[in-house]
Chain A
């Protein structure tokens, strides 16, 4: 056990001595957390639209007024030709063209079916879908106003729908993104640092010197893992603190549970990193493999797009995705106040995972080569 102490001490000295790395390890995650959290939103705002109002009547202006007074749409241009509108879509000046035909008012007032047209730039399918919904809602509400002019009959048989948004009644996107981004950042730092670590000693040549000492394989792996484990827990705690301070994110569940699960999770991430480090020959290789897995873990981990939206084979794959498990746990604990019973599945999977990764790293680390 004493050997491990010396290894840990050495790793810490090396981490803190590299002045170029310190801001990257400690500063960068926090800065990214602060900046990126605000950017990661699917909320639709400021949809710039091009107006073609061929009617030019009170009614058509009222409809346009409905659009401009909503928080979603901003008019950027106006014309009487379709070409100008499409031109603006092409050049990204506008994302929607609102096209009101010449006889709009007449049709509305004479109670006929009237048509208007939205032309939406659908490169971003998700945003286009939302744009369509918002625009239709506005038109619908507009039609309703005229409806009440025409019919004062009160409808019987009404199903009244009450909505409640639990856990996040203001639909605050930051609340949702912060735990996820924090997990992603901590995982990145952990995976990359541990992934580079052993292979770096291979490249420099110091690994030979260690391999001729009587150090045991498990001592070596534990000694390599612990410093980054502590580092990871620290960054996580610091990140949570900053997030609480600045974004006032909810912390509904127990901090003990957060750090307890983080302890297990970090072993998995660092275990993967050390494993990568033992099977590669250069830091370059190690980083590419680490990057490859990081991108997959992150994009398929429910950080940006919901796991439930993925096809079932991909959902099944997330069993081996530690980031997916931990993001789910963090969101559960922080936002919903989940207790250990609620996340027992993830806890079990991560615990098994950590044991497997540690065993693999110890087995794969060779003191004697063939």
Chain B
């Protein structure tokens, strides 16, 4: 036991003596959270649009004013030929073009109908959809103001109650996502590197002939990172509360317990990666290039899992970050306890168990 303690202390020294890595490890989450928290938005404001007005009468003027004063749109280029639209779109700045037909006001008043064409750059379908939605609702509002009737129609008023995030802030989504991303990659990457590094430098052999048991060696290597990840979690949480006002409705104890569990899952994944890779290079590429996009895309960090095609929904179940995200959002935003989260907790624990047993198996094979 004494040699084990000495070993852990040695591992701590290794990490903490390297000032630059320290700076990166502790500074990185802070910078990223602040940057992303302020910068990443899904809502659209100030989208650049162009208007082709073949009519230029008082009604088109009024509609244009309504659009541009809405806060959603900024007029980028005024073009006067339909043939210019293509060129404007290809530059990539303008996302929507609105075309008023000739004699717009006259047609509207005389014939009772006039045409507006809204063309969206649908290379980004999501933005295109939102922009067209905004535009048509503004035009419809204007249309309603033209005719003051419809008072005797039946009306069904939907009352909307948005639970857990009434202002629909994206940052409430990104904070839990970032915690998951940081913990996952830092833990998996760090352990996988640190173990393969000993293999590469040949020092693993030395450790293996020492009185330490292989199990102790692995645990000893992992404990400092466990500690480090914990500090990172706390920092990110503190920032999220203080800077972004993300609510925390659940229990801190449960939160840190679950974070600990997730870190253990990630660390054991790291250990597994290190047992299947010979060099640091391989380990790092698996941990970084292999995990980064799946953690971002398949975990529900940015894209809702339930909207994915069903094979991918099934597939996303093997991404530990997905379960952790459900847990974190549940605790922070919904304020629910273990009685709702036991399933996710069990899954994470089960995953850790699998990773660890695969590692032990691989490790033993290598020793024989």
Name A residues whose Cβ lies closer than 8 Å to a Cβ of B. Answer: 18, 20-21, 24-25, 28-29, 32, 35-36, 38-48, 86, 89-92, 95, 108, 111-129, 132-133, 135-136, 139, 142-143, 146-147, 150-151, 153, 155-169, 171-173, 175-176, 181, 184-185, 188-189, 192-193, 196, 200, 280-285, 287-292, 294-296, 298-300, 304-306, 308-311, 314, 317, 328, 331-332, 335-339, 342-343
Q: Is B162 in contact with chain A by the CB < 8 A criterion?
A: yes
Known: A171-B122, A291-B189. A117 touches B164 (CB 8 A): no
Are B289 and A285 closer than 8 Å at their CB atoms? no
Contact mask for chain B residues 168-193; partner A; CB cutoff 8 A; 1 contact, 0 none: 11101100000001000100011001
A323 to B252 CA separation, bound complex (whole angstroms): 38
Q: How far is the CA of A219 from the CA of B277 in the complex (A)?
A: 32
Chain A residues within an 8 Å CB radius of B112: 156-158
**Contact, CB under 8 Å: A108 / B296:** no
Contact B159 A115 (CB under 8 A): yes
A287 to B186, CA, bound (A): 11
Is the beta-carbon distance between A172 and B125 smaller than 8 angstroms?
A: yes
Closest beta carbon of chain B to A78's beta carbon, Å: 19
Q: Are A128 and B127 in contact (CB under 8 A)?
A: no
Q: If A18-B279, A305-B42 touch, does A157 touch B147 (CB 8 Å cutoff)?
A: yes
CB-CB under 8 A from A122, the residues of chain B are 162-166, 168
Which of B119, B125, B181, B340 is close to A91, meaning CB atoms less than 8 Å apart?
B340
Contact of B67 with A by CB under 8 A = no
Q: How many residues of B sit at the interface, in one of the four size bands?
A: 35 or more
Indicate if B361 sits at the interface (CB-CB under 8 A): no
In this complex, what residue of A is CB-closest to B159?
A117
Please determine whether A114 and B156 come into contact, CB atoms closer than 8 angstroms. yes
What are some 25 contacts across the A-B interface (CB < 8 A)? A24-B289, A32-B294, A36-B294, A41-B303, A113-B156, A116-B159, A118-B158, A120-B160, A125-B169, A159-B116, A159-B142, A160-B115, A161-B115, A163-B136, A165-B119, A166-B119, A168-B125, A188-B289, A283-B284, A284-B197, A288-B25, A288-B28, A308-B48, A336-B121, A342-B91
* B207 within 8 A of partner (CB): no
Cα distance, A202 to B257, chains bound together (Å)? 40
Interface pair A188/B292, CB less than 8 Å apart: yes
Cβ contact within 8 Å between A150 and B154: yes
Interface residues of B (CB under 8 A from A): 18, 20-21, 24-25, 28, 31-32, 35-36, 38-48, 87, 89-92, 95, 108-109, 112-129, 132-133, 136, 139-140, 142-143, 146-147, 149-150, 152-170, 172-173, 181, 185, 189-190, 193-194, 197, 277-282, 284-286, 288-290, 292-294, 296-298, 300, 302-304, 306-309, 312, 315-316, 326, 329-330, 333-334, 336, 340
Nearest neighbor of B302 in chain A, beta-carbon distance: A304
Specify which chain B residues have a CB less than 8 angstroms from the CB of A181 in the assembled complex.
Answer: 293
Instruction: Say which residue of B139, B154, B289, B334 sits within 8 Å of A147 (CB atoms).
Output: B154
Quick check: A89 and B163 within 8 Å, CB to CB? yes
> B46, B153, B160, B334: which has the most chain A beta carbons within 10 Å?
B160
User: Judging by beta carbons under 8 Å apart, are A90 and B334 in contact?
Assistant: yes
Q: A127-B304, A163-B119 are in contact. List 17 more A-B contacts (CB 8 A).
A: A40-B297, A43-B307, A114-B156, A116-B158, A120-B162, A120-B163, A125-B165, A136-B158, A151-B152, A175-B123, A287-B288, A288-B25, A298-B292, A300-B35, A300-B36, A308-B46, A338-B91
Pairwise interchain contact B42-A38, C-beta atoms closer than 8 A: no
Shortest A295–chain B CB gap in Å is 6
State the Cβ distance, B287 to closest chain A Cβ, in Å.
Answer: 8
Decide if B154 touches A308 in the complex (CB within 8 Å): no
